[in-house]
């Protein structure tokens, strides 16, 4: 049995590679209706005896305001059109910056890999798998698809996932009609959508929304994402 362990491990590794590549390839074309993170939020709500309904409404990229697409890039990952899944300059800055609280340096690609394929946590195994799936989606998907999935699965409010669901719930209109100011406010809550509110914005969210709007202009507006 001990002699066979390396062969069993190798077989498992090969199966994992095949299944993961096929999984990512399929999701290159199909809507992502549910993610492990949505399920975990639902379980947490059930345990806390809170409302368990998930607000999620998939919309194709062409039906989402490009102001919303630009806002999340301006807020979360300004080098998104140019990197290959990892922003090493941001990673270095986050590691060397002297702050009481370490800031994140995850790209949109990394966040998609984490939300769609994995569980949330801080283990080395999960971080390694996150890097692996980030590389896979950068190879198999294009940038527009990565952004499309992010805009549909990112948590943007309590039990609210995706910009369409957030727009319908908080602005009473479809995401394709979002203005720059509205899109910037949605992006402003992304660091912690359970703490920050789109509907009842704090002074921080209002200030952050203005900063994101200015960054959107500095990037050149919608032209910045025209060739994804």
pLDDT tens digit string along 176-221? 999 999 999 999 999 899 999 999 999 999 999 999 999 999 999 9
Q: Tell me the C-alpha distance between 140 and 136, whole Å.
A: 6
- pLDDT number for residue 110: 95
- pLDDT number for residue 95: 63
Percent of the chain with pLDDT over 90: 80
The average pLDDT across 3-30 equals: 90
Decide the pairing of beta strands 155-157 and 160-161. antiparallel
Q: Tell me the C-alpha distance between 163 and 156, whole Å.
A: 7
- pLDDT number for residue 167: 97
- pLDDT number for residue 104: 55
- pLDDT number for residue 105: 67
pTM attached to this predicted model: 0.90
Query: Residue 116's closest CA among 193, 48, 30?
Result: 30
**Hey, what are 153's tokens?**
């699965």
- pLDDT number for residue 89: 75
- For the segment 107-123, what is each residue's pLDDT rounded down to a tens digit? 999 999 999 999 887 78
- pLDDT number for residue 101: 47
Query: Residue 153's closest CA among 29, 39, 45, 56?
Result: 56
Q: Tell me the C-alpha distance between 184 and 214, whole Å.
A: 10
Cβ partners under 8 Å of residue 71, min gap 6? 180, 183, 184, 186, 187, 212, 216
Q: What is the dihedral of CA 34, 38, 40, 41, to 10 degrees?
A: -150
Least confident of 38-47, 57-66, 86-95, 119-128: 86-95
The average pLDDT across 55-67 equals: 96
CA distance to 18, 100, 155, per residue, from 33 (Å): 23, 37, 13
The average pLDDT across 157-186 equals: 96
Q: Which structural domains are found in the chain, ordered by start?
A: 35-45+57-76+86-225 (1.10.3810.10)
- For the segment 76-113, what is each residue's pLDDT rounded down to a tens digit? 999 999 999 888 776 666 666 655 444 456 899 999 99
- pLDDT number for residue 5: 76
- pLDDT number for residue 30: 96
């Amino acid at each position: 049995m001990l002699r066979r362990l390396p062969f069993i491990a190798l077989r498992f590794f090969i199966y994992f590679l095949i299944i993961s590549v096929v999984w990512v390839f399929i999701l290159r074309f199909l809507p992502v209706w549910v993610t492990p993170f949505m399920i975990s939020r639902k379980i947490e709500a059930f345990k806390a005896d809170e409302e368990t309904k998930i607000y999620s409404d998939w919309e194709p990229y062409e039906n989402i305001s490009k102001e919303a697409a630009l806002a999340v890039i301006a807020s979360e990952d300004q080098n998104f059109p140019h990197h290959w899944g990892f922003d090493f300059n941001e990673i270095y800055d986050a590691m060397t910056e002297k702050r009481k609280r370490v800031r994140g340096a995850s790209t949109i690609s990394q966040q998609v890999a984490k939300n769609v394929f994995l569980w949330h946590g801080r283990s080395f195994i999960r971080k390694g798998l996150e890097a692996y799936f980030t590389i896979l989606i950068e190879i198999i998907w294009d940038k527009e698809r990565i952004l499309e999935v992010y805009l549909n699965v990112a948590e943007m409010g309590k039990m609210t996932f995706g910009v369409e669901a957030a727009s319908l719930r908080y602005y009473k209109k479809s995401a394709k009609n979002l203005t720059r100011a509205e899109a910037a406010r949605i992006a402003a809550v992304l660091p912690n959508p359970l703490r920050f509110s789109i509907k009842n914005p704090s002074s921080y969210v209002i200030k952050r929304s203005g900063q994101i709007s200015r960054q959107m202009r500095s990037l050149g507006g919608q032209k910045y994402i025209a060739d994804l």
